[in-house]
Amino acid sequence: MGDNMIRRVRHFFYCVFWIGKDKITKPFIGEPNIRTIEETYEKIIKDKVSVSRFGDGEFKWMAQLPQNTFQKPSKKLQERLIEICKSDEENHIVCLSDTFGNLRKYNAYGREFWGCFMGMYRKKWMKFLKPGKVYYNTNMTRPYMDYLDKSPCEMRFQLLKKIWENRDVILVEGEKSRLGIGNDLFSTAKTVQRVLAPATDAFERYEKILEFVKQLPKDNLILIALGPTATVLAYDLAREGFQALDIGHVDVEYEWFRMGATSKVPLKNKYVNESLQGRDVGKIEDEEYASQIIAEIT
């Protein structure tokens, strides 16, 4: 038996073990109350709430688990994420990955990944949550790639665009993210301006980023793509009277949707953390993009 075959067999039994463990223990550990993607859009549009999103990465930061990522471990970041996960602000919602329950709606990769993840970490993650709290759906910005049924995706992106329809938008993004460049994701916005922050380890510049954004007019809609830093920033800005949304990889997901991609492929001139080839990003020559930049925080 070759090395590759041995690895595949080991991986198979690894998945069988953890997925089986979760099926057995889930009824005893339980699961949170998480609204659907559509209900999450409706809540944001109707009540103009701010959004902090939690996925596997944010959980690993909270639990201090190792990961290959774009943000160095930080005790302060860990403490803030734990605080926000249990928070209950009237103008702010917390979103979780809708993977605590049935995984049939996900493709094979999603079922395997989240089945194993929950088998390993369900009990620990539940300890970070507030009992009885209503959570919303992290995949509001990731409604395409991991789903088996792609038919609702166009409608979901249309609803997503309604959030910033006729709004003055400030994008707070990593310097290589380039949200909306080369597509029509923000075509419904009234205006778009950009604040560029470090592509990696943005939390080390957190106070500087927060202080700059706090000086902006509060009728702007703040959209943030900065990994776990966005989770914290959206919460703090909500408490300052802004509507701020952690939108994560929404632009990447939208590009994949437009391409009809079936795997997480790199994108030209855009940082794609989930693809090793997508982390080597070249320069961009785009006059409109350059004109939108109002600050670069280094």
pLDDT, tens digit, for every residue of 54-105? 999 999 999 999 876 777 888 999 999 999 999 999 999 999 999 999 999 9
Percent over 70 (pLDDT), the chain: 95
**Residue 144 Ramachandran class (φ > 0 left, ψ -120 to 50 alpha, else beta):** alpha
SS3 category, 189: coil
Q: Do the Cβ atoms of 261 and 250 come closer than 8 Å?
A: no
Helix, strand and coil percent figures for the chain, each rounded to 5: 45, 15, 40
In this prediction, residue 274 carries a pLDDT of 60
Residue 243 has pLDDT above 80, yes or no: yes
Element (H, E) at 196: strand 191-197
Q: How far is CA 8 from CA 109, 194, 238, in A?
A: 15, 45, 46
d(CA 251, CA 249): 6
Using the predicted structure, report yes or no on whether residue 276 has a pLDDT greater than 50.
Answer: no
pLDDT at 280: 55
- Residue 67: predicted pLDDT: 75
3-state secondary structure of 296: strand
Average pLDDT, the chain: 92
215-232 mean pLDDT: 97
Looking at residue 1, what is its pLDDT? Answer: 55
Reply yes or no on whether the pLDDT at 284 is more than 80: no
pLDDT at 232: 98
Across 161-196, b (16+ Cβ under 10 Å) vs e yields bebbeebebbbbbbbbbbbbbbeebbebbeebbbbb
Contact status, residue 133 vs residue 86, Cβ threshold 8 Å: yes
pLDDT at residue 3 in the model:
75
pLDDT in tens, 4-32: 888 888 988 899 999 999 999 999 999 99
- What single DSSP character describes residue 130? P
pLDDT band for 281, please (50, 70, 90 cuts): low
What local confidence, expressed as pLDDT, does residue 278 receive?
Answer: 43
